[in-house]
Structure 1
């Protein structure tokens, strides 16, 4: 009878753990058919729980091994059903264990405080069942709202091996082994009660620390993004200065060439006129697309290309993007062109230092294509190229930001490499232009 009771209590424990794991899995990004996968992992956990049996008739070491075996296998439901790393699955499971342990200790304290038994058979008594529901339902709900949801914001816990290992070291030695030793020592007395209170406080503290650390990590990530944006603005300022220097140099050359024309012979005058005509080609960079914001960014980037000896071709109808927020449009096109410029300026062959920009309307859609040569095709992850820069926490967010901008307006972004040509394509629904009568296309 004792063995059967022990196994039923262990089965009850694993069900409590599975309920806690389910709550910590809810905020995470799911795999295909998550409920089926979670059910398969839960079934495996139940089988292991019934196999290893209970702990009341065994020593502390054997009981600890039995608990660890169940704790390890209960990682499966989260890992199988959620699209997260092993570290995230372990981290969520340990947090779930802290939740279950808090409620378990609270239930024991409620039962001992009222003189009721706390084994599984006592749940048939309405009063004991009430204590059980009071100890589990409100705490599970509150911990889910206060801990699980904030920790899983964004679809993952972003737990590193160090972080997952750290919470494991914090929870298991205190909340598992010390509490288990107190239970096996007799299940009563002042030391047992103190252990339960200590286990509750420890579990609550660990969960609170995790939420605090998560907020700190989020603030640090936001700070990195802000620093990256500041660096981007600084780079933009430097590019603008370089652009102005190009214009000033051209104007200076034109002034001297015009002055020299007054004293030149006819053959020399023709040669000087050709040079002036060539120098004036820079002003072809001032494109007219029917969209003021697009005109600005395309003109600016074309002047950058002129400064860096990059060939530039552009054919754009910007009227279909007139309804976009100016900041979104500037960032979207500017990021695409910055990436292309950064890529081709590293090429040694002048014939390959070419960027082609095409923007046209078709079937109610505006299609933006930016093409440039790339010698080494990049690695892709989630349909986007992986940044080759060392600090991936700062770099690499530009392409993701562009995709989010496209999706914000009901569009899409795709990237592919065709015969060493990197092709970025953004498709957006056409929106009514703010200005009428502009030219359909501008070529430069």
Structure 2
């Protein structure tokens, strides 16, 4: 039992702290696409709503106290989700942080108020409440605003980690109110208040550090992606340079061959020479232009490999739609799928069956990528989910993991036509412009 127990935080004080925390994160994470008018209306209506809710649950029995707290968190989530235009994941992440801040500000303000002014609350207490909450909120806003200036949608793991931190913080900070017979509980009223404020502060610091680490990790990933993109662009330059060199070396040979074709009188021989001419220039039509430099390199490289193995690659790709996919993930999804389609088709004995269809286009807010190829007579496919890896150590897992990072889905299997098809469906971000598809073949 708590000795010299101090009065608990008034319900209206808690409601004001929760509303202030929601306002803090609305301002900290505000984006140009968020409706200012809607935000003002939501925040104006939510203040009396939160106050009324806190007063109402104050009359509930102590056995329903935890249910009332869950309801308060749900109400804060609704305020943030309605005030900001964002995903459910973003709103959940913000409410986790706002709840910890609300607990910290309410506990700190009440502890200071009881120490300096005593209790119960008076008219001076209201002034003290407004000044203390405003000062604490302004300080936290200064800390949080730079970390939310750039919109970064948190991952599911980040949201889950933040929720776990908030839950542990809340449980430990209120443990003394439930039982004093634990090694982590306080027994004196002032001690209990101090423990609650200190633990809430530690929870906020941990969430702050989590956000900092997450931003640094994303910055490092973006830097690595930029470097990889530069390397891919340089590789594309080298590929084009090699093509130009080859064309220059073959230029004189082609001129002589064309002259011989013109001078040939026999129609059958002329047709043979024309076919020979067509075969000699076919390799130089294998340079793809899709609107995405990374995909250009991938398709150009695979087209060259197909020509060497007498495989027909039919490609239609809107590369501009893949601007939101990182270089590493694009190589994993498109490059790996084509590599193992090549591996499977190369084993087919009949040259007429050696073909690969690569189709990537936008459909109703999604990017759909399909890679189709014939199946060998034994039914073996390059993407079979086997316990042991295939020739190149490939399984469908890496493609599925890369697609999952964008909320995408992967399906693979044989069709009634006797072919194997891999489908990758990625949702398009709102920022991707809906431009017409660019075809390559």
Scaled by the length of structure 1, what TM-score is found?
A: 0.57
Q: How far is 1:17 from its partner? A: 0.9
Identify unmatched segments of 5+ residues in structure 2.
1-6, 181-185, 319-356, 371-398, 409-427
Select which of 148, 154, 177 maps to 2:150.
Answer: 154
Question: Partner residue of 1:101?
Answer: 103
Question: Partner residue of 2:57?
Answer: 52
- Distance (whole Å) between structure 1 residues aligned to residue 57 and residue 9 of structure 2: 12
Query: Is the CA contact 1:90–1:164 (under 8 Å) kept in the aligned structure 2?
Result: no
Say whether residues 1:222 and 2:219 are aligned partners. Answer: yes
Instruction: Look up the SS of the partner of 2:188 in the other structure.
Output: helix
Query: Is the CA contact 2:90–2:153 (under 8 Å) kept in the aligned structure 1?
Result: yes
Query: Is the CA contact 1:20–1:100 (under 8 Å) kept in the aligned structure 2?
Result: yes
1:235-262 CA-partner distances (Å, limit 9, x unpaired): 2333333323323333333455679999
Question: Partner residue of 1:35?
Answer: 40
The verdict on how the C-alpha distance between 1:118 and 1:100 changes in structure 2, with shifts beyond 3 A counting, is: farther
Question: Partner residue of 1:391?
Answer: 402
Instruction: Look up the SS of the partner of 2:435 in the other structure.
Output: strand
Greater shift, 192-201 or 64-73, is seen at 64-73
Question: Partner residue of 1:322?
Answer: none
Question: Partner residue of 2:362?
Answer: 378
The verdict on how the C-alpha distance between 1:48 and 1:350 changes in structure 2, with shifts beyond 3 A counting, is: same
Query: Is the CA contact 1:38–1:77 (under 8 Å) kept in the aligned structure 2?
Result: yes
Question: Partner residue of 2:286?
Answer: 308
Question: Partner residue of 2:328?
Answer: none
Identify unmatched segments of 5+ residues in structure 1.
1-5, 184-188, 283-304, 313-333, 356-372, 405-412, 417-421, 425-444
- Distance (whole Å) between structure 2 residues aligned to residue 354 and residue 135 of structure 1: 59
The verdict on how the C-alpha distance between 1:52 and 1:238 changes in structure 2, with shifts beyond 3 A counting, is: same
The verdict on how the C-alpha distance between 1:380 and 1:40 changes in structure 2, with shifts beyond 3 A counting, is: farther
Question: Partner residue of 2:77?
Answer: 75
Question: Partner residue of 2:170?
Answer: 172
Scaled by the length of structure 2, what TM-score is found?
A: 0.57
The verdict on how the C-alpha distance between 1:335 and 1:260 changes in structure 2, with shifts beyond 3 A counting, is: closer
Question: Partner residue of 1:234?
Answer: 231
Instruction: Look up the SS of the partner of 1:415 in the other structure.
Output: coil
- Distance (whole Å) between structure 2 residues aligned to residue 107 and residue 264 of structure 1: 94
- Distance (whole Å) between structure 2 residues aligned to residue 275 and residue 352 of structure 1: 24
Question: Partner residue of 2:323?
Answer: none
Say whether residues 1:415 and 2:411 are aligned partners. Answer: no
- Distance (whole Å) between structure 2 residues aligned to residue 133 and residue 218 of structure 1: 33
Query: Is the CA contact 1:11–1:50 (under 8 Å) kept in the aligned structure 2?
Result: yes
The verdict on how the C-alpha distance between 1:227 and 1:76 changes in structure 2, with shifts beyond 3 A counting, is: same
Instruction: Look up the SS of the partner of 1:194 in the other structure.
Output: helix
Instruction: Look up the SS of the partner of 1:378 in the other structure.
Output: strand
Question: Partner residue of 1:135?
Answer: 132
- Distance (whole Å) between structure 2 residues aligned to residue 280 and residue 257 of structure 1: 8
Query: Is the CA contact 2:81–2:88 (under 8 Å) kept in the aligned structure 1?
Result: yes
Q: How far is 1:281 from its partner? A: 9.3
- Distance (whole Å) between structure 1 residues aligned to residue 258 and residue 107 of structure 2: 96
- Distance (whole Å) between structure 1 residues aligned to residue 9 and residue 260 of structure 2: 108
- Distance (whole Å) between structure 2 residues aligned to residue 51 and residue 220 of structure 1: 44
Aligned length: 327
The verdict on how the C-alpha distance between 1:74 and 1:250 changes in structure 2, with shifts beyond 3 A counting, is: closer
- Distance (whole Å) between structure 1 residues aligned to residue 299 and residue 258 of structure 2: 41
Say whether residues 1:203 and 2:200 are aligned partners. Answer: yes
Query: Is the CA contact 1:257–1:276 (under 8 Å) kept in the aligned structure 2?
Result: no
